[in-house]
Amino acid sequence: MSFLNSLISGVSLGSIYAIIALGYTMVYGIAKMLNFAHGDVIMVGAYICFFAVSRFSLPPLVGVLLAVVVCTLLGMTIEKLAYAPLRAAPSLAVLITAIGVSYFLQNAALLLWTPNPKVFPNFFARKVTAPDGTVTDQTGMAFFDGALRVSYVTLVTILVCLAIMAVLTVFINSSKLGKAMRAVSEDKDAARLMGINVNTTISATFAIGSGLAAIAGVLLCSAYPTLVPTTGSMPGIKAFTAAVFGGIGSIPGALLGGLLLGVIEILAKAYISTQLSDAVVFGVLIVVLLVKPTGLLGKVVREKV
């Protein structure tokens, strides 16, 4: 049962990576840029939700919605101020700007919220009253006489990930904005000639990715409840790795890459070493890219000259 427990934990962690990876893969697929500040948007969303619930006593759902709204506006602001002026700039300039925005958000969080760790509340615990009247928090379910335990956070994380993937797939394939995003990802100039507002489409992509980052931040801190200004750094890097692993630019690739990365990381911690788990994860990525440079579900794009 220990393997099954680890596998379920890996799928849960991988679901968080998949949601974060969507932001990377959508922005790269449409704008052809890597937004390395995406991981820090996760941190901002987690802080907004934390203060909304802990300090202002708002319901958790309201806190999550507020975090989504703030992160959506933050993503659009970052795109307008930092990335939009660099549309025609070399990719190296965009990359350096993204790193600068990342450090700006981290240091702003240090000034606003101090480096002291915050303990994120568990929104998914249930109050259970014992026969003697004692009230306790039940955080999950047990099966097979307690040999297999599944937390409510794990269940919610997996279900939310699948729901987001399904809704996003329908949105991209069926909605007017989704079709515009696909057109811009194929050819910006041709899309502009067809009457599509490329700048608005890219801004919408940042807005959607940042809103999803807020949800990922809440789920991440619910499962791993320590919140600090650098909370989003490593998950952001790993989610980018998951996007590359699955094939950056591919939404199904983000899901597959995130799930595989989460499972590999948890199994490596359980059966190899907690200190070497990250090395195992990135080692697997290197092997996959050596065999298939475009990622598992990526496609080779031929450029005409």
Give the per-residue pLDDT at 72: 95
Please give the tally of structural domains in the chain: 1
Give a yes or no: residue 84 inside a domain. Answer: yes
Model confidence, pTM: 0.90
Confidence tier at 294 by pLDDT (50, 70, 90): confident
Residues 35-75: pLDDT tens digits? 889 999 999 999 999 999 998 889 999 999 999 999 999 99
Confidence tier at 249 by pLDDT (50, 70, 90): confident
**Phi-psi bin for 37: left (phi > 0), alpha (psi -120 to 50), beta?**
alpha
Give a yes or no: residue 237 inside a domain. Answer: yes
What CATH number did the domain enclosing 266 receive?
A: 1.10.3470
Give the per-residue pLDDT at 138: 63
Give a yes or no: residue 23 inside a domain. Answer: yes
Give the per-residue pLDDT at 23: 86
Range of the domain at 171: 2-291
Give a yes or no: residue 301 inside a domain. Answer: no
Q: What is the separation of C-alpha 17 from the centre of its chain, rounded to a whole number of angstroms? A: 5
Confidence tier at 285 by pLDDT (50, 70, 90): confident
Give a yes or no: residue 281 inside a domain. Answer: yes
Give a yes or no: residue 303 inside a domain. Answer: no
Q: Please state, as a whole number, how many other Cβ atoms lie within 10 Å of the Cβ of residue 114.
A: 11
Closest to 156 in 3D by CA, of 183, 124, 129: 124
